[in-house]
């Protein structure tokens, strides 16, 4: 039996915090509409106290995007919470997401407060947030490097103050999958009142483990996963939404979690994000990268032409990518050349095809790949010669 999991998208907050990814109000609105079509449960629309523009984008999204819950981030300070509360006021379903660091490193070196002060500040902030909405999320920043008994006491205090979701971020991407699964299991078992709240996972990708850690946290009992489109976010980024979704679709046997996501929208929203930020995704990025459904080597192209399941574990169509591409390059074989020539309207004898193939390889040796136009020129020349 699969377990339902809430998808909390933070592209417009944690994602937008990354250098080079800042967005203006109309761009954030356009993305929020696409996230709604994608089916995310919660959109974290911004950090209202950070700037007038951020506050305005949260307010406009809250006003105009009515399907998902709209969340606004706030530190555990009265001014932040008031600002977030005002920004989400127009939402049909609004959430205040308040956070404070709980690791000794952050308390001593960054916040310069004691554990007791931190606990009191957190509980007070949650109680204040409840005056604006009955949907309050508390995050213990740097949770995975926090002392577990102390963190347990903070979580119990914020639950008593009215928190409904408890997020335990792996803020610096330090955890490993087996560790974070055990960690969620242990915290959920230790916290009194844990059955009253939803536990959430928020993983960063500093060691390239954000997605693996998020799935492991779900195995450990988390029921909300925080992620971003294309995995954008602070430093190396957050867990990539498209990867999480497709793991649960392609490997439902090992990751039996149901997310209410329309997977065919994945490529479109990824493209819109790159267009609006001007930041391309890496070519080999899983699911949405330019090469995710492209094949160049002869052995792979031959397999693909016989049965696509030889080298594709999901269809491009299932994630909204228009089609598989067989790219012609120096590693390509005769099968792909023949198929491309046929698509271009050429029927060749074996000898002619051999000639086309040799010329294509000679050209490919001098450049990255051979385009359809270049192949058509070679094909026309060979036809004329024979
Ligand atoms: O990574 C983190 O700890 C965060 C919190 C603000 C939730 O982004
Ligand atoms: Zn984060």
- Ligand 1 shell residues, CB under 6 Å: 14, 99, 139, 141, 167, 169, 171, 202, 204
What is the mean predicted confidence (pLDDT) over 186-214? 98
Model confidence band, residue 1 (pLDDT cutoffs 50, 70, 90): confident
Q: Which ligand is nearest to the CA of 171?
A: 1
Residue 98, strand partner residues:
74, 138
Residue to substitute in 48, 171, 234 for testing ligand 1 pocket (most ligand atoms within 8 angstroms of CB): 171
The candidate with the shortest Cα–Cα distance to 297, out of 356, 369, 347, 372, is 369
What is the mean predicted confidence (pLDDT) over 41-61? 98
Neighbours of ion ligand 2 (CB under 5 A): 14
Does position 386 have pLDDT exceeding 80, yes or no?
no
φ, ψ of residue 131 to 5 degrees: the values are: -75, -20
Percent of the chain with pLDDT over 90: 99
pLDDT at 189: 98
Contacts for 204 with CB less than 8 Å, ≥ 6 apart: 169, 170, 171, 172, 173, 210, 233, 234, 235, 236, 237, 238
**Structure tokens of 271?**
């493209």
What is the mean predicted confidence (pLDDT) over 197-209? 98
Residue to substitute in 77, 125, 169 for testing ligand 1 pocket (most ligand atoms within 8 angstroms of CB): 169
Count Cβ atoms within 10 A of the Cβ of residue 146 and give its class: 0-12 exposed, 13-18 middle, 19 or more buried.
buried
Using the mean position of ligand 2's atoms as its centre, give its distance from the Cα of residue 192 in Å.
26
pLDDT at 129: 99
What is the mean predicted confidence (pLDDT) over 273-279? 97
Are the beta carbons of 224 and 241 closer than 8 angstroms?
no
What is the mean predicted confidence (pLDDT) over 77-103? 98
**What CA dihedral angle connects 266, 269, 273 and 279, to 10 degrees?**
40
What is the mean predicted confidence (pLDDT) over 288-317? 97
What is the mean predicted confidence (pLDDT) over 222-233? 98
Are the beta carbons of 257 and 248 closer than 8 angstroms?
yes
Nearest residue by C-alpha to atom 5 in ligand 1: 141
Nearest residue by C-alpha to atom 7 in ligand 1: 139
Terminal CA-to-CA distance of the chain, rounded, Å? 63
Report pLDDT digits (tens) over 350-381.
999 999 999 999 999 999 999 999 999 999 99
Using the mean position of ligand 1's atoms as its centre, give its distance from the Cα of residue 169 in Å.
6
| ipTM computed for the complex | 0.99
Nearest residue by C-alpha to atom 8 in ligand 1: 14
**How remote is the C-alpha of 147 from its chain's centroid?**
28
Report pLDDT digits (tens) over 315-331.
999 999 999 999 999 99
What is the mean predicted confidence (pLDDT) over 40-52? 98
Buried b (16+ CB within 10 A) or exposed e, 117-129: ebbebbbbbbbbb
């Amino acid at each position: 039996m699969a377990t339902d999991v809430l998808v909390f998208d933070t592209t417009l907050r944690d994602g937008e915090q990354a250098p080079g990814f800042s967005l203006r109000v109309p761009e954030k609105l356009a993305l929020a509409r696409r996230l709604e079509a994608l089916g995310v449960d919660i959109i974290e629309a911004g950090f209202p106290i950070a700037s007038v523009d951020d506050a305005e984008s949260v307010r406009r999204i809250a006003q105009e995007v009515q399907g998902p819950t709209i969340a606004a981030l706030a530190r555990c300070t009265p001014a932040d919470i008031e600002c977030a509360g005002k920004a989400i006021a127009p939402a049909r379903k609004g959430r205040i997401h308040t956070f404070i660091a709980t690791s000794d490193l952050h308390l001593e070196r960054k916040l310069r407060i004691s554990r007791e002060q931190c606990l009191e500040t957190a509980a007070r902030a949650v109680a204040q947030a409840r005056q604006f909405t009955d949907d309050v999320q508390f995050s213990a920043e740097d949770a995975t490097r926090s002392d577990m008994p102390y963190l347990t006491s903070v979580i119990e205090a914020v639950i008593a103050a009215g928190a409904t979701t408890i997020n335990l971020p792996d803020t610096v991407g330090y955890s490993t999958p087996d560790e974070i699964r055990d960690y969620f299991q242990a915290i959920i078992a230790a916290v009194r009142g844990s059955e009253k709240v939803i536990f959430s996972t928020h993983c960063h990708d500093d060691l390239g483990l954000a997605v693996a850690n998020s799935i492991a946290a779900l195995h450990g009992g988390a029921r909300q996963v925080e992620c971003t489109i294309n995995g954008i976010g602070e430093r190396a980024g957050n867990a990539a939404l498209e990867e999480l979704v497709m793991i649960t679709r392609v490997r439902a046997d090992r990751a039996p979690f149901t997310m209410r996501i329309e997977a065919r929208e994945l490529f479109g929203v990824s493209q819109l994000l790159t267009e609006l930020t001007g930041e391309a995704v890496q070519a080999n990025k899983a699911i949405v990268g330019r090469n995710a459904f492209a094949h160049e080597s002869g052995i792979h192209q031959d397999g693909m032409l016989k049965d696509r399941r030889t080298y594709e574990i999901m269809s491009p169509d299932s994630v909204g990518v228009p089609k598989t591409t067989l790219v012609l390059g120096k590693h390509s074989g005769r099968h792909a050349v023949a198929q491309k020539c046929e698509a271009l309207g050429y029927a060749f004898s074996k000898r002619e095809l051999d000639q086309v193939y040799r010329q294509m390889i000679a050209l490919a040796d001098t450049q990255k790949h051979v385009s359809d136009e270049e192949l058509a020129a070679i094909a026309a020349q060979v036809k004329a010669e024979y």
